[in-house]
Structure 1
Amino acid sequence: MTYVLLVVVLTLAFPWGGAAVARRLADRLPPRWACRTLVGAAVLLAGGTVSALAGLFHVPFLASLERLSLTRVLEVWPTAVPFACVAGALLLTQLVLLVRRWSRHRALLGRAWLSAGAGTGDGDVLVVPGTDVDAFALPGYRGRRGRVVVTSGMLRSLEPGEREVLLAHERAHLAGRHHLLSAVVDLVSVIHPAIRSLREALAFHLERWADEEAAEVVGDRRVTAAAIARAALAGAAHARVAGYPLLSATSGPVPRRVAALLLPEPAPARGGVRRVGVAALAASVVLAAVTALALAYGLHEYVEFAARRLIGGGAG
């Protein structure tokens, strides 16, 4: 039982270190690869946490498969059922939080589409009249394709060239389906507290990804930086919570984004950089797999050992 608990504790503690490594790696990769690394790390860390809790929850049930009396099991290992109950309660709590978070996502998306109903425009842009200063990428919903929503107040705040940057930025969010990446990490962040830091890091790198796409479309990094800064200042008085499902050019740590745009374009993830990213993801997969195998082996050995002792009449 001690071996099993040790593996479970290590598995539950691992996300704190894994999340820190993923954030540091993302800061050294181009935005596109940084986002993929963060999403992959979040999913793996959440999966490892759930696997550990599920394994601990099933210990008494595994013992029952060996036709062992639960009463006899508790005489020898009295902590088996309490630990299993705690694990089961945590799994149930995670499930409830996951369903609530998903429901909130759908409700926010529905309200966003409702608020954009007054907008007019051609193509993929909806202009909403009013004095509010806002712009965001609105994902598709119930058969409707995604649109770029911008208020007339935001358009009045920008020069023509800056408007082009803003629209290119929001189009990049839609084309890259960034809302799905954001949604995945936001959902699995309910599994373990350490994953919440990956959600914040992902929000920054998604904006950086869209910034770089906009700079490529416009062909001028300084103009792009100026447009992002002006849009953020204009929309500061009407700030809202950034992230899924509404990704906006005015969200995130804008000074860091502007500073990055004033630097040369990030080199493509080739050669050594790409190998580092792939190696890091591969290492995460291997580590998660080894941990899962160790947990499964430990549970198997625990049940076999319990069976030999209890059937043989051994005492605790």
Structure 2
Amino acid sequence: MTYALALVLLLLVLPWAGAAVARRLAEALPPWWACWSLTGASVLLAGGTISALVGLFHVPFLASLEHLPLRRVLEVWPTAVPFACAAGLAMFVQLVLLVRRWLKHRSLLKRAWLVVEEGTGDGDLLVVPGADVDAFALPAYRGHRGRVVVTSGMMRALKAGEREVLLAHERAHLAGRHHLLSAVVDLAAVVHPAVRSLREALTFHLERWADEAAAAVVGDRRTAAVAIARAALAGSSRGRAEGYPLLSVTSGPVPRRVKALLLPEPAAPQGCVRWVGAMGMAVVVAAVALGSLALAYGLHEYVEHAARQLLGEPSGCSGVWGVVETLFGSGARR
């Protein structure tokens, strides 16, 4: 079963390559496209990892369905049970970490709302008194609709036109429901560490998305760039609930964002460019996920084939499965 193990390990390592490709392609796309591409890639890579673990975990179970005694299974694949136990343990740890991460998100969001409860509201704007200079988009929570939170210190630090940029930026976060994309990628990063780099890339592109929306609202890209630079220089995060990934105008690599705003507005890919880029990312990233699903199915078919061999029944394998029989058979006999 050497080849099966090598295939499993390969599919668990491939997400690192998939994440690198997704980041590179996102750099060539406008912010909206980049954000959705990174989110989709994160889900596919995490799903592929889980599929590979499931495929390894259910081999003994499938053997029992074929009425194979455990002793006979271990004769053919001595490490089947240890590998299955390791895969089951990995999935259990992932589940615990996912639940803990989700609960932490909810807890910190609750704390964030408690921190700003003394603010005064005007529509979707919530101004919090204090000397801290900060602004962020606070998602909806338990009947409270999403609000743009700005400290009075930040309001004083910016001019009237710059405040308009700031509010438009944070409103873009709320309107685009960027916190959901951020949460999805954050949870996917728990499943496989390769996705963590996509989480950092997504933060940058979400801020770029909001930057472009703010520039469109004020109609002046240079004013938007100056406002974001000034807000970042004056900003702080001491007033936030510590640890919560709030989307803020001061987040991400601000110099890169300002430089992008001083360039012409990025155009959405058109025609062949759009489809080639989309298909390129889809093929590379989906290959990881589909490969993992194919592994799960392949292991199921292999157990069925092995069961027939051990029980002395004709396997009926030919063609591609004849090659599989040769590979897995040689691995099993080693």
Query: Which amino acid letter does the alignment assign opposite residue 307 of structure 1?
Result: A
**Aligned 8 A contact 2:44 2:289 in 1:** no
Using the TM superposition, give the Cα deviation of residue 137 of structure 1 relative to its aligned residue in structure 2, in angstroms: 0.2
- 1:258 is matched with 258
**Aligned 8 A contact 2:15 2:288 in 1:** no
- 1:20 is matched with 20
Identity %: 74
| Cα deviation code 1:145-201 (max 9, x no counterpart) | 100000000101111111000000000000000000000000110000100000000
- 1:6 is matched with 6
Could you list the runs of 4 or more consecutive aligned residues of structure 1 that deviate by over 3 angstroms after TM superposition? Answer: 236-245, 312-316
- 2:133 is matched with 133
| Cα deviation code 1:115-157 (max 9, x no counterpart) | 1100102100000001111100000001211000000001011
- 2:199 is matched with 199
Q: Secondary structure, in 3 states, of the residue corresponding to 2:263?
A: coil
Bigger mean CA deviation after superposition, 59-68 or 244-253? 244-253
Q: Secondary structure, in 3 states, of the residue corresponding to 1:266?
A: coil
* Unpaired stretches in structure 1, ≥5 consecutive residues: none
Query: Which amino acid letter does the alignment assign opposite residue 89 of structure 1?
Result: L
- 1:34 is matched with 34
Residues 156, 206 of structure 1: alpha-carbon distance in 2 compared, 3 angstrom cutoff: same
> TM-score, length-normalised on structure 1?
0.94
- 2:325 is matched with none
Query: Which amino acid letter does the alignment assign opposite residue 137 of structure 2?
Result: A
Equivalents in 2 of 1:99, 1:72: separation in Å? 38
**Aligned 8 A contact 2:136 2:247 in 1:** yes
- The reply on whether 1:70 has 2:70 as its aligned counterpart is yes
Query: Which amino acid letter does the alignment assign opposite residue 7 of structure 1?
Result: L
Residues 16, 247 of structure 1: alpha-carbon distance in 2 compared, 3 angstrom cutoff: same
Bigger mean CA deviation after superposition, 234-243 or 252-261? 234-243
Using the TM superposition, give the Cα deviation of residue 75 of structure 1 relative to its aligned residue in structure 2, in angstroms: 2.4
Using the TM superposition, give the Cα deviation of residue 306 of structure 1 relative to its aligned residue in structure 2, in angstroms: 2.3
Using the TM superposition, give the Cα deviation of residue 4 of structure 1 relative to its aligned residue in structure 2, in angstroms: 2.5
Residues 135, 259 of structure 1: alpha-carbon distance in 2 compared, 3 angstrom cutoff: same
After TM superposition, list the pairs within 5 Å mapping 1:229-268 onto structure 2: 229-236=229-236, 238=238, 245-268=245-268
Which structure ranks higher in relative contact order (CA pairs < 8 Å, sequence separation ≥ 6)? 2
Q: Secondary structure, in 3 states, of the residue corresponding to 1:118?
A: coil
Using the TM superposition, give the Cα deviation of residue 274 of structure 1 relative to its aligned residue in structure 2, in angstroms: 1.9
**Aligned 8 A contact 1:23 1:198 in 2:** yes
Equivalents in 2 of 1:220, 1:27: separation in Å? 23
Bigger mean CA deviation after superposition, 242-251 or 44-53? 242-251
Query: Which amino acid letter does the alignment assign opposite residue 196 of structure 2?
Result: R
Equivalents in 2 of 1:12, 1:104: separation in Å? 27
Using the TM superposition, give the Cα deviation of residue 71 of structure 1 relative to its aligned residue in structure 2, in angstroms: 1.8
Query: Which amino acid letter does the alignment assign opposite residue 103 of structure 1?
Result: L
* Unpaired stretches in structure 2, ≥5 consecutive residues: 314-328
> TM-score, length-normalised on structure 2?
0.89
Equivalents in 1 of 2:24, 2:67: separation in Å? 49
Residues 310, 70 of structure 1: alpha-carbon distance in 2 compared, 3 angstrom cutoff: same
Using the TM superposition, give the Cα deviation of residue 10 of structure 1 relative to its aligned residue in structure 2, in angstroms: 1.9
Q: Secondary structure, in 3 states, of the residue corresponding to 1:251?
A: coil
Equivalents in 2 of 1:32, 1:242: separation in Å? 28
After TM superposition, list the pairs within 5 Å mapping 1:55-204 onto structure 2: 55-204=55-204
Equivalents in 1 of 2:292, 2:59: separation in Å? 15
Using the TM superposition, give the Cα deviation of residue 239 of structure 1 relative to its aligned residue in structure 2, in angstroms: 8.6
Equivalents in 2 of 1:112, 1:276: separation in Å? 42
Residues 172, 50 of structure 1: alpha-carbon distance in 2 compared, 3 angstrom cutoff: same
